[in-house]
Amino acid sequence: MAVVAICDPTIPVNFGLREAVDFVLPEGSVVNARHPATVNLYFPTAHLVYNTVLSALGQLNPARAVAPSGLGSGAVTIGYRKSRSGKPAVLYELLNTSLGGTNRNDGAAAVMAMNHFTPGAPVEIFESEYPLRVRAFELTCDSAGAGRYRGGLGYAREFEVLEDSVLTVRSSNHLFAAQGHGGGGSPRPSRVILNPDRPDREELSAIETRHLKAGDVIRFERSGGAGFGPPAERAAEAVREDVRNGYVSPQAAADVYRQPQDDQ
């Protein structure tokens, strides 16, 4: 997919592509594990490979270079002994990220890098199928990598579980963020917070299983995309529009983009 993206996105995607590209995958590497190595979390690994190849080929073809997407892909599962239907059920939700900026456009928000057709599940599905309440589903300010063309904003989902359940988080990009392209900035890393507004607030690790009690709140903050080009070269009107929309704070506009904003 990275080769197609950097060469010609109109090329039909089918198995014939493998005949045009030689894949060299040394045994014992992260993409060709040697038995009995543990293999898990394949999608974040594939996501990293996609971004790595895209970044490398962007140096070969700068006209089609693109900044990396957020690297916080993964999934969350919440298991219930009894769902809305009265039967045991498991909520499974892919954790999307956002795309990086290009040499012509800002990155799109809440879009899976390799599978642009993979959206987040609608709020109505969560609440009608599972005993939980969606307290927030929102883009988060200052979450994107700054740049002449910024990355797509990261987003947050916040669930309040209405019955005891078991949470398993399989996330990534909690410590290191994607690097911007050509002077662009990095986005804010991902994080998962248990009970964010309570005294027992706790930030969870990228891979963790917890027993939740009815009333507990879990907040997933996803990384945005990386920026393309120096932030100081971003058009002033684009920065003002970002501030008006709540995508960039006035403080970040002044500190990162070097464009002080009034309080309006």
Give the model confidence (pLDDT) of 203-259 as tens digits: 999 999 999 999 999 999 999 999 999 999 999 999 999 999 999 999 999 999 988
Q: What does the pLDDT read at residue 5?
A: 84
pTM of whole model > 0.85? Answer: yes
d(CA 186, CA 17): 32
At 55-83, the pLDDT tens digits run: 999 988 888 899 999 887 888 999 998 88
Secondary structure (3-state) at 129: helix
Q: Residue 250, preceding bond cis, omega within 30 degrees? A: no
At 171-196, the pLDDT tens digits run: 888 999 999 999 999 999 999 999 99
Burial of 183 (0-12, 13-18, 19+ CB in 10 A): middle
Q: What does the pLDDT read at residue 83?
A: 80
**Burial profile 111-131: b = 16 or more Cβ within 10 angstroms, e = fewer:** bbbbeeeeebeeeeebeeebb
Give alpha helix (H) positions in the chain: 2-7, 42-60, 123-129, 236-245, 250-255
